Chain A
């Protein structure tokens, strides 16, 4: 029988505290680099289609996931006590609840509000007592990375940095954005990236980073890369800026501004400190340089964010967030910013919170880089 993971043990304690008999955690098959995949948190496997983990306080845990042809892989990888692949997801889920006696018990659901209305209705009909919605349970329980998860985050960061090195080697005038993206995406997959939120685009004056298009790279282009591979369920993101040819003194100065904002944010991000404080520390550097009016959308989005797929905590880094940093939280910090003189620039690292502030997981933090014209 598989050994259940540490999150499952915490979940059982939570069930006992809350006098609940069980819960069902859902995922719809979509993987967001920003959000918690509750099924992965409790079962250690990403399903291809819709999936659910049914957990009973008395010891049972079952993964039900689409499709049937994935059954052998699910059984091999899942750390729940049972696992099954099915082409009748709703039927298999209902049958499992009945078999475990949870259909008539006091239960909670995790992530059901993020599923389709159709599925939510069907699940509601499976219980004789309406289940309690606890959508943030998985993200909360996984908010601080376990040692093996931190190791996976470091490996994901290593992959991202190798991907960026590849970009610097492969980018040249005449190459289309999507050709460059194809090269670095598959290169990172070849060294272990199971997924990748990859935005990579170029312009003489970027408004933002976007997905690669058909544009042909030219001398003087500023290439932006938001490189976000996932390794064993841990996304890591680096934000990078490279110039084809020579950079103007203005561009160098403005990039140094983003680096200073990054340092200020890292220094401020300590355990017990609210997210807003680190955000304001970054904004303050840009405001003092005269760009305060641009420290809001559409000139930037947020100053960083949590990284799925175990936990979305600490959430978006914005100046109103009162979420408090905890030691061991991992997220990306990025004072990416539109600057009128240069266009959008990117500078960011995955960081882990220590007692002394945020520590970058990257071997080499963002610099303004150059590609031969």
Chain B
């Protein structure tokens, strides 16, 4: 779901080298390095910003809290990470990545200095440079004009991330536990009589206290038919609860819908049916709930929505990829959504990482 993007991501993003050691990033970078050798590229530029950074985070672990960052991975030699932030804040930023050479992107000389060390003339592969602003791209183009050309390599990143890696799945599993806890807290406060905004806030509070780096919530003020972001309205207690919570932990997202009352049982049954059919090669059925816009879910991980939504006729789910699934129902002026996070296996079975409160 699209939710309100905060002005800054609050939580701790310090790289945990026990969970994500350097060798993990060597493995992740291998396809990039192979592509550079194969194509004769001098380096790969990987761009990301606070809103969308899945490729950048995959290869560097760095997630911009605000503004942008760009990794420069040379075919030979040490990489550099440019971050759009003041030099005052650099020590804290360095703790978020395995890359040792981290510089402020506000001083463009650090880009030019790095490029000057590359064999020229040549080609620079690019990942996600379409997300860059025209202003920044203009500055970059001016710096390499006549020396390097650019070659889009988004497909190389996509291929490297085709399936979730085992360490990624471990992180998503940990995020799913926090998402579950947040969902349960929302349900508990609703049952205790809280309004929908305060109930969602209780879930957010718990998730953040469990070291979630980011928490997004949506609530329904009309008993489950529509979803809205936070509005500081603390008196809405419709006849049924529908809330959405997404949590990010160590860079990885998990999400859950919470439904109490309304057609919750029907939504649960619809989710059961969906899960029975959810296997590689099987067709996707669309969700009936208006707030879900026909989507039965999506891949989830370093982005809340990785890749396209699963709509009727969508590509079949792939084994080794974590999906967030949902089934929604409406009935006599109320709505409910049941959700689960699942990991299909190659043998047609799947692991349920979490299943939301829907009763």
Q: Is B10 within 8 A of A208, CB to CB?
A: no
Contacts of A198 in B (CB 8 A): 8, 10
Chain B 75-114 interface residues, beta-carbon cutoff 8 Å to A: 86-92
Contacts of A182 in B (CB 8 A): 205, 208-209
Contacts of A117 in B (CB 8 A): 129-134, 137
Contacts of A72 in B (CB 8 A): 226
Q: Is B92 within 8 A of A210, CB to CB?
A: yes
Q: Is B91 within 8 A of A49, CB to CB?
A: no
Q: Is A181 within 8 A of B208, CB to CB?
A: yes
| A87 in the interface (beta carbon within 8 A) | yes
Q: In whole Å, how far is A10's beta carbon from the nearest beta carbon of chain B?
A: 26
Contacts of A210 in B (CB 8 A): 89, 92
| A319 in the interface (beta carbon within 8 A) | no
Contacts of B2 in A (CB 8 A): 29, 48-49, 66-67, 70
| B4 in the interface (beta carbon within 8 A) | yes
Chain A 210-225 interface residues, beta-carbon cutoff 8 Å to B: 210-214
| B228 in the interface (beta carbon within 8 A) | yes
Contacts of B122 in A (CB 8 A): none
Residue in B7, B201, B209 whose CB lies within 8 Å of A230: B7
Residue in A115, A208, A235, A298 whose CB lies within 8 Å of B7: A235
Which of A136-144, A188-196, A255-263, A275-283 has 4 or more CB atoms under 8 Å from chain B? A188-196
Chain B 213-269 interface residues, beta-carbon cutoff 8 Å to A: 226-232, 234
Contacts of A69 in B (CB 8 A): 1, 226-227, 290-293
Q: Is B131 within 8 A of A192, CB to CB?
A: no
| Least CB separation from B49: chain A residue | A30
Q: In whole Å, how far is B289's beta carbon from the nearest beta carbon of chain A?
A: 10
Q: Is A185 within 8 A of B10, CB to CB?
A: yes
| B173 in the interface (beta carbon within 8 A) | no
Q: Is B131 within 8 A of A118, CB to CB?
A: yes
* Chain A interface residue bracket vs B: 35 or more
Contacts of B22 in A (CB 8 A): none
Chain A 74-104 interface residues, beta-carbon cutoff 8 Å to B: 87
Count contacts on B: residues with CB < 8 A to the other chain. 53
| Least CB separation from B202: chain A residue | A186
Q: Is B133 within 8 A of A178, CB to CB?
A: no
Contacts of A192 in B (CB 8 A): 232
Task: Determine the distance from Cα of A301 to Cα of B292 in the docked complex, in whole angstroms.
Answer: 44
Query: B-side binding surface: helix, strand, loop or mixed?
Result: loop
Task: Determine the distance from Cα of A230 to Cα of B226 in the docked complex, in whole angstroms.
Answer: 25
Q: Is B7 within 8 A of A196, CB to CB?
A: yes
Q: In whole Å, how far is A158's beta carbon from the nearest beta carbon of chain B?
A: 13
Contacts of B10 in A (CB 8 A): 178, 181, 185, 196, 198, 211-212
| B6 in the interface (beta carbon within 8 A) | yes
Q: In whole Å, how far is A156's beta carbon from the nearest beta carbon of chain B?
A: 12
Task: Determine the distance from Cα of A69 to Cα of B3 in the docked complex, in whole angstroms.
Answer: 11
Task: Determine the distance from Cα of A70 to Cα of B198 in the docked complex, in whole angstroms.
Answer: 21
Task: Determine the distance from Cα of A320 to Cα of B131 in the docked complex, in whole angstroms.
Answer: 32
Task: Determine the distance from Cα of A114 to Cα of B232 in the docked complex, in whole angstroms.
Answer: 29
Q: In whole Å, how far is A97's beta carbon from the nearest beta carbon of chain B?
A: 19
Residue in B1, B130, B208, B290 whose CB lies within 8 Å of A186: B208
| A183 in the interface (beta carbon within 8 A) | yes
Residue in A31, A116, A194, A299 whose CB lies within 8 Å of B230: A194
Which of B11-19, B33-41, B271-279, B351-359 has 4 or more CB atoms under 8 Å from chain A? B11-19
Contacts of B293 in A (CB 8 A): 67-69, 87
| B20 in the interface (beta carbon within 8 A) | no
Q: Is A214 within 8 A of B131, CB to CB?
A: no
Task: Determine the distance from Cα of A189 to Cα of B10 in the docked complex, in whole angstroms.
Answer: 14
Q: Is A31 within 8 A of B211, CB to CB?
A: no
Q: In whole Å, how far is B116's beta carbon from the nearest beta carbon of chain A?
A: 24
Q: Is A195 within 8 A of B6, CB to CB?
A: yes
Contacts of A177 in B (CB 8 A): 12
Chain B 127-146 interface residues, beta-carbon cutoff 8 Å to A: 129-135, 137
| B299 in the interface (beta carbon within 8 A) | no
| B118 in the interface (beta carbon within 8 A) | no
Contacts of A301 in B (CB 8 A): 86, 88-89
Q: In whole Å, how far is B312's beta carbon from the nearest beta carbon of chain A?
A: 15
Contacts of B163 in A (CB 8 A): none
Q: Is A208 within 8 A of B208, CB to CB?
A: no
| B66 in the interface (beta carbon within 8 A) | yes
| Least CB separation from A33: chain B residue | B7
| B288 in the interface (beta carbon within 8 A) | no
| A32 in the interface (beta carbon within 8 A) | yes
Q: Is A300 within 8 A of B204, CB to CB?
A: no
Residue in A87, A113, A212, A300 whose CB lies within 8 Å of B12: A212
Q: Is B208 within 8 A of A185, CB to CB?
A: yes
Contacts of B156 in A (CB 8 A): none
| Least CB separation from A208: chain B residue | B88
| B191 in the interface (beta carbon within 8 A) | no
Task: Determine the distance from Cα of A353 to Cα of B216 in the docked complex, in whole angstroms.
Answer: 36
Q: Given A29-B51, A30-B51, A33-B7: A116 and B130 within 8 A (CB)?
A: yes
Q: Is B130 within 8 A of A211, CB to CB?
A: no
Residue in A67, A114, A298 whose CB lies within 8 Å of B87: A298
Task: Determine the distance from Cα of A32 to Cα of B9 in the docked complex, in whole angstroms.
Answer: 11
| B326 in the interface (beta carbon within 8 A) | no
| B298 in the interface (beta carbon within 8 A) | no
Q: Is A208 within 8 A of B201, CB to CB?
A: no
Q: In whole Å, how far is B311's beta carbon from the nearest beta carbon of chain A?
A: 11
B residues whose Cβ falls under 8 Å from a Cβ of A: 1-14, 49-51, 65-66, 86-92, 129-135, 137, 198, 201, 204-205, 208-209, 211, 226-232, 234, 290-293
